[in-house]
């Protein structure tokens, strides 16, 4: 059994880690920490977990936690994970960080966008960007994994086949993405109050969203050239889900939707968690609700010579905790879908 510790277990991504890991056949949850609920029984805080976990939340005592764990999940805000990740790595433990601290190849980019000095830059250089469908081989041999952000996951998977095959003019990439309110976390924030976000749809952080450099870093690798995108995120009044609509002009004007879909089918033919929809059917967030799937559909518009890609994920699962567990499975040589192979909830 893999002994797992979850640091920050009472946020939304932490609770999703508990939900999946409590039913994972190869995992024992050895400890869960929380600053807000020390010594409180986890199932009393989240009654939906009753009969699945019988632990109390611990104060963050790293020596105590690391002594009983093989791998640590850090479900903490950016800037907070570094102490935990550094301590765990120093003791030879594997760490999967669900925050932003270990996603960047160049810590200077992280510091510029997140306005914070990185405390473990050498460790950050060794960390692997944990998008399994793209970086599986590197993940297998890594110690520290920077789990991707939710928007980047849907966008990178949505564009990877086209960029890898040189199909699109990279200077034309426009991304319109919409996320449910849980993407803002469990902390109190006026923007996420019911009266503020219900019956409302708004764009935010246009041109300055912190996921932008993460998206550009990974798309540039796939395209083998520098990529800059126009990325506009939106908050939509639903709990879960991300739908990214991606626009790009093509090099080849002699193509059609089915030909482009075949590129996707071939690229993802061995990927259980990526599902390509047939021509004329576009994915909806309900298709992936509560699951680790990314569903992709597309349409070629010959009038404008553009491709329009629609990519959907559950922001808390494939966009966070589910993907983190997928990474854990790779690290420990397990089938990737272990503990994750559930269909989405419907309706």
Catalytically annotated residues: 150
Q: Cis check for the bond before 172: say yes or no (omega within 30 of 0).
A: no
Strand partners, 276: 296
Could you tell me the strand order of the sheet in which 174-179 lies? 202-203, 230-235, 174-179, 242-249, 306-313, 294-301, 274-276
Judged by DSSP in three states, 160 sits in: helix
Question: How buried is residue 142: exposed, middle or buried, by Cβ count under 10 Å (0-12/13-18/19+)?
Answer: buried
Q: Please tell me the distance from the alpha carbon of residue 188 to that of residue 185, in angstroms, as a whole number.
A: 8
Please state, as a whole number, how many other Cβ atoms lie within 10 Å of the Cβ of residue 196. Answer: 14
The answer to whether 19 touches 50, Cβ cutoff 8 Å, is no
| Neighbouring C-alpha atoms within 13 Å toward the C-beta of 121 | 9
């Amino acid at each position: 059994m893999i002994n797992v510790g979850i640091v920050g277990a009472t946020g939304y991504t932490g609770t999703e880690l508990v939900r999946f890991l409590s039913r994972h056949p190869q995992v024992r949850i050895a400890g869960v920490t929380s600053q807000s609920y020390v010594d409180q029984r986890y199932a009393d805080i989240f009654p939906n977990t009753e009969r699945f976990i019988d632990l109390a939340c611990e104060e963050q005592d790293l020596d105590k936690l690391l002594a009983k764990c093989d791998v640590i999940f850090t479900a903490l805000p950016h800037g907070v994970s570094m102490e935990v990740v550094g301590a765990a790595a120093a003791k030879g433990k594997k760490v999967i960080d669900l925050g932003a601290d270990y996603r960047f190849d160049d810590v200077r980019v992280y510091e510029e966008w997140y306005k914070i000095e990185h405390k473990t830059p050498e460790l950050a250089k060794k960390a692997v960007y944990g998008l399994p469908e793209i970086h599986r081989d590197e993940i297998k041999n890594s110690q520290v994994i920077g789990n991707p952000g939710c928007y980047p996951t849907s966008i990178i998977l949505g564009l990877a086949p086209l960029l890898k095959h040189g199909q699109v003019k990279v200077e034309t990439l426009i991304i319109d993405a919409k996320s449910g309110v849980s993407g803002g976390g469990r902390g109190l924030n006026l923007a996420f109050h019911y009266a503020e976000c219900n019956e409302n749809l708004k764009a935010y952080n246009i041109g300055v969203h912190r996921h932008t450099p993460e998206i550009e870093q990974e798309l540039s690798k796939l395209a083998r050239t520098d990529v800059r995108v126009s990325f506009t995120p939106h908050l939509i009044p639903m709990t879960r889900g991300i739908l990214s609509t991606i626009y790009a002009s093509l090099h080849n004007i002699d193509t059609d939707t089915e030909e482009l879909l075949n590129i996707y089918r071939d690229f993802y033919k061995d990927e259980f968690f990526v599902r390509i929809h047939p021509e004329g059917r576009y994915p909806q967030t309900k298709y992936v609700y509560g699951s680790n799937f990314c569903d992709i559909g597309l349409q070629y518009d010959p009038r404008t010579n553009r491709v329009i890609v629609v990519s959907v994920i559950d922001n808390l699962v494939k966009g966070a905790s589910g993907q983190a567990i997928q990474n854990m499975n790779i690290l420990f040589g397990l089938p990737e879908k272990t503990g994750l192979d559930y269909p989405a909830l419907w309706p």
